[in-house]
Homo-oligomer: A and B are copies of this chain.
Amino acid sequence: MQNANHRITLRSRPTGEAAPENFAADTAPVRAPEPGEVVVESRLISIDPAMRVWISENPGYVPRVEIGEVMRAGGIGQVVESRADGLSAGDWVQGPLGWQTHPTVAAAQLQKLDLSLGSPEDWIGPLGMTGVTAYFGMREVARIRPGETVLVSGAAGAVGQMAGQIAALEACHVVGIAGGSGKTRLLFEEHGFHGAIDYKAEKDLSAAIRRTCPDGIDVFYDNVGGPILEAALDNLRIGARIVICGRISQTAAPQLHGVRNLGNFIGKRARMEGFVVFDYASRYAEARTWIAAHLKSGRLRQRLHIINGLDRAPDGLGMLFRGQNTGKLVVSLGGR
């Protein structure tokens, strides 16, 4: 058994974007499991926008990561030593593994993966928090109906690609906003979007939305916030719903963007709603059954953006905020 746990800890709190200097690498002995705990060998570690929130002074609805602690992260791995009932060496699990190669974790915090639903790569994305977030955001918060026009921001990102595909599978007309022609092409070719806007190539985003959604938007699924949200609010149809899933443009912004056109909500009878996927925890199985069926049929596809090696995790977090990932960003620790 491996005896060294390679770890990345939080060294300092960033003020703007997180940088590699905010983190430190070290190696500690693998902690022997207590009863009810297991040692896991990490395989895939998720890199998510929320991580930037967790390392801020006041994250709001989740506890912050303290200086010196291993960076918090969701991940997938295999049990290498178990002192917990129901988990054995070799089992695939997901949970809060953190940025480390060999975490020792309470079994109660882990979920054993049902590989009949999908591969470990499926579980880090569509069957994991990413897919489940998009599923409940689109179906329960936005309450999409067939034939509606659905606009998705951050559409080539982890949640965005899933959200757009779910709407397309429900017979909506789906337009995605992403940065760069490579990403917008992907939306058409791999994810079944009907329209796409490269926001980096548009001077007037509101006009670009009007051009691609000429009858207006029934649903805006927003992962980005800021000026893109404001442009979408210029193009609402009566009865529009806006889902605030994320706001990556604002998370590390030195100055928050003020949204000036909330007055549109009155005449458009619009509804805007934020949500947290954990509130749907009792219904994850329902979402995963639906998602697994569509993954197997090939109608739902995940694009993974894999970077290799734990050392690259801090830079990976920066890539998210610079829009340098296409699809779900994960750190692979190899080993399969």
Q: Which residues of A contact B (CB under 8 A)?
A: 60-61, 225, 229, 244-247, 250, 256-276, 279
A262 B60 Cβ-Cβ under 8 A: no
Closest to A222 in B: B262
Of residues A250, A262, A270, A271, which shows the largest number of chain B Cβ atoms within 10 Å of its Cβ?
A262
Closest to A267 in B: B61
Closest to A255 in B: B260
B250 A263 Cβ-Cβ under 8 A: yes
B258 A269 Cβ-Cβ under 8 A: no
B269 A272 Cβ-Cβ under 8 A: no
CA distance A225 to B275 in the complex (A): 23
Contact partner of A257 among B225, B229, B245, B260, CB < 8 A?
A: B260
Given A229-B262, A256-B260, also A271-B271 (CB < 8 A): yes
A276 B265 Cβ-Cβ under 8 A: no
Interface of chain A: mostly helix, strand, loop or mixed = loop
Given A244-B265, A260-B258, also A272-B271 (CB < 8 A): yes
CA distance A39 to B122 in the complex (A): 73
Report the minimal beta-carbon distance from A154 to chain B, rounded to whole angstroms. 14
Report the minimal beta-carbon distance from A277 to chain B, rounded to whole angstroms. 10
Contact partner of A247 among B263, B268, B269, B270, CB < 8 A?
A: B263
CA distance A244 to B247 in the complex (A): 22
| B-side contacts of A272, CB under 8 Å | 262, 265, 271-273
28 contacts between A and B (CB under 8 A): A60-B264, A60-B267, A61-B266, A61-B267, A225-B263, A229-B262, A244-B265, A244-B266, A245-B266, A246-B266, A247-B266, A257-B258, A257-B260, A258-B259, A259-B260, A262-B272, A265-B274, A266-B275, A266-B276, A267-B274, A268-B274, A269-B274, A269-B275, A270-B274, A271-B271, A271-B272, A271-B273, A272-B273
CA distance A60 to B265 in the complex (A): 11
| B-side contacts of A271, CB under 8 Å | 271-274
B244 A262 Cβ-Cβ under 8 A: yes
Report the minimal beta-carbon distance from A108 to chain B, rounded to whole angstroms. 24
- Please give 7 more A-B residue pairs, beta carbons under 8 A apart, in addition to A244-B266, A269-B279, A271-B271: A225-B263, A247-B266, A258-B258, A265-B273, A269-B273, A269-B274, A269-B275
A274 B266 Cβ-Cβ under 8 A: yes
Report the minimal beta-carbon distance from A109 to chain B, rounded to whole angstroms. 21
CA distance A247 to B262 in the complex (A): 9
| B-side contacts of A246, CB under 8 Å | 266
| B-side contacts of A244, CB under 8 Å | 262-263, 265-266
CA distance A275 to B264 in the complex (A): 10
| B-side contacts of A268, CB under 8 Å | 61, 274
| B-side contacts of A250, CB under 8 Å | 263
| B-side contacts of A279, CB under 8 Å | 269
| B-side contacts of A225, CB under 8 Å | 262-263
| B-side contacts of A270, CB under 8 Å | 273-274
Closest to A263 in B: B247
Closest to A238 in B: B61
CA distance A265 to B266 in the complex (A): 18
| B-side contacts of A264, CB under 8 Å | 60, 274
